[in-house]
């Protein structure tokens, strides 16, 4: 993931579509669904409990990014991500795609928190 982050920082951060997707990811994480969706960054930095291992964060991160890409289709700009996030669609996608993998990996994202 370190190499992926390097490439991301080097070439993706200037891309408007990438920034839109990161805004959608942030909006989802800060929405009422946030206990069911934590960014890969948050999982790596604040995980560990709840079986949030590095490998599990990587596997979950791939599925989560696919969800973010799909949700971003309904958002017009990074600035509008929180207001335009389709929470109903997000809830459905989390239930269909992410939660089965969380169950398979025995991961509890509720344990991922930067609060002390």
Q: Which residues of 1-36 are buried (b: 16+ CB within 10 A; e: fewer)?
A: eeeeeeeeeeeeeeeeeebbbbbbbbbbbebebbeb
Instruction: Tally the C-alpha atoms within 13 A of residue 101's C-alpha that lie toward its C-beta.
Output: 19
Residues of the chain short of pLDDT 50, as ranges, are 6, 116
- Boundaries of every domain in the chain: 2-108
At 3 the pLDDT is 58
Is residue 24 within 8 A of residue 72, CB to CB? The reply is yes
- What is the distance between the alpha carbons of residues 67 and 53, in angstroms, rounded to a whole number? 21
Q: What is the pTM of this model?
A: 0.86
At 49 the pLDDT is 85
At 5 the pLDDT is 56
- What is the distance between the alpha carbons of residues 113 and 116, in angstroms, rounded to a whole number? 8
Between the CA atoms of 12, 66, 40 and 91, what dihedral angle is there, to the nearest 10 degrees? Answer: 130
Structure token pair of residue 80: 């509008």
């Amino acid at each position: 993931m370190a190499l992926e982050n390097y490439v991301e920082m080097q070439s993706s951060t200037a891309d408007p579509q990438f920034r839109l997707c990161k805004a959608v990811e942030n909006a989802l994480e800060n929405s009422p669904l946030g206990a069911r969706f934590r960014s890969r960054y948050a999982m790596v930095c604040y995980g560990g409990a709840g079986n949030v291992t590095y490998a599990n964060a990587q596997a979950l991160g791939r599925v989560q990014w696919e969800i973010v890409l799909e949700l971003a289709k309904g958002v017009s700009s990074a600035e509008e991500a929180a207001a335009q996030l389709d929470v109903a669609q997000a809830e459905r996608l989390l239930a269909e795609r992410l939660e089965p993998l969380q169950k398979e990996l025995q991961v509890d994202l509720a344990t991922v928190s930067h609060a002390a």
